[in-house]
Structure 1
Amino acid sequence: MTAVPAPRPAREERRYGPAEELRAHSTALLLHAQRLRAGAAALDWKGPQAEAFRWRIEALADRCATAAAGLARSAGHVDAAVRPR
């Protein structure tokens, strides 16, 4: 199993626009999906319950990736709406 990641350093207080915030959340969700998949693959647990658990983790990772894609798409729409025509 993978080690727990170290705490994140404190972020500087900087304001981002709506599109940047959406992209940041999208990136975070993609990273969560990758970590979920890596953690499930690293399990030494065997048997039908283990496979069911892995399946549920994979489904959760898919949900994270789908949400990330939606947020990235929304960021594009926000960018298009605020760009001068």
Structure 2
Amino acid sequence: MSPAHRRHRPGAPDPADGLREHSATLRSHALRLHAAAEALDWRGPQADAFRAEVAALAERCATAAGGLAVAADQLEETRTA
């Protein structure tokens, strides 16, 4: 049996649920990063550069969260197929 078709141990956390939990956490972090960057009173070119870096990090978190959600769906589909 291929690893994709193996069932997880009884009582063990569901792998797809774990991926979804990590996805939700990353999405939450992305939102917090965006909010924190916008709330800064700091002004000037360095502040703008910092905000851009934080926004890029938040976007990477959101992208990774989306990837984890897709992986969770795919994992669940292979288990139910």
TM-score (norm 1): 0.80
1 CA distance for matches of 2:38 and 2:17?
32
Q: Which runs of 5+ in 2 are unaligned?
A: 1-10
Gaps of 5+ in 1: 1-13
Q: Runs of 4+ in structure 1 displaced over 4 angstroms?
A: none
Q: Distance in 2 between matches of 1:58 and 1:71?
A: 20
**Greater relative contact order structure (CA < 8 Å, 6+ sep):** 2
The yes-or-no answer on 1:25 pairing with 2:9 is no
Cα offset for 1:27?
0.1
* Greater C-alpha Rg: 2
Q: 2:38 aligns with which of 38, 41, 59?
A: 41
State the identity as a percent: 52
Aligned length: 71
Say which structure is richer in helix: 2
CA RMSD in angstroms, aligned pairs only: 1.1
Output the amino acid matched with 2:71.
Answer: S
